[in-house]
Amino acid sequence: MPKITVLPHADLCPDGAVIDDAESGKSLCETLLEHDIEIEHACEMSCACTTCHCVVRQGFDSLNESDELEEDMLDKAWGLEPNSRLSCQAVIGDDDLVIEIPRYTINHAREQH
């Protein structure tokens, strides 16, 4: 079972978290939610909002490939990086992952600017 290390996020998991019983074949977003990391998922995981954006610091290549729709949506995400994924579209493979949940989502960004 792959292990997922979640780097600290001020609101969602201030001390970071380790999920050591993640299931291959499941989406990253679902897995985080099941482990009480309440990542935003405003479109209910239908690849239409980008609020579930995360950056994969380790293990990026073990995930499924992103499709065109995800890439298009990602372009709108706050804090986009080369290893960004929409966690609702990223399917866990066999390798351990280290992920970072960006500080803001487009929802926050809108509220604050």
- Cβ 75 to ligand FES, closest distance in Å? 12
Which one, 20 or 65, has the nearer CB to ligand FES? 65
Contacts of 34 (CB under 8 A, 6+ apart): none
- Cβ 88 to ligand FES, closest distance in Å? 3
Contact flag: residue 12 with ligand FES (CB under 6 A): no
Question: Among 3-11, 13-21, 38-46, 55-63, which window interacts with ligand FES (CB under 6 A)?
Answer: 38-46
Contact 76, 35 (CB under 8 A): no
Binding letters toward ligand FES, positions 39-78, x by CB under 6 A: --xxx-x-xxxxxx--------------------x-----
Q: For 51-81, give the DSSP string.
A: TTEEEEEE-GGGSPPP-HHHHHHHTTSTT--
Q: Report in angstroms the alpha-carbon separations of 20 from 3, 36, 73, 85, 95.
A: 4, 14, 29, 21, 12
Residues of the shown chain interacting with ligand FES in the complex, contacts defined by CB under 6 A: 29, 41-43, 45, 47-52, 73, 86, 88
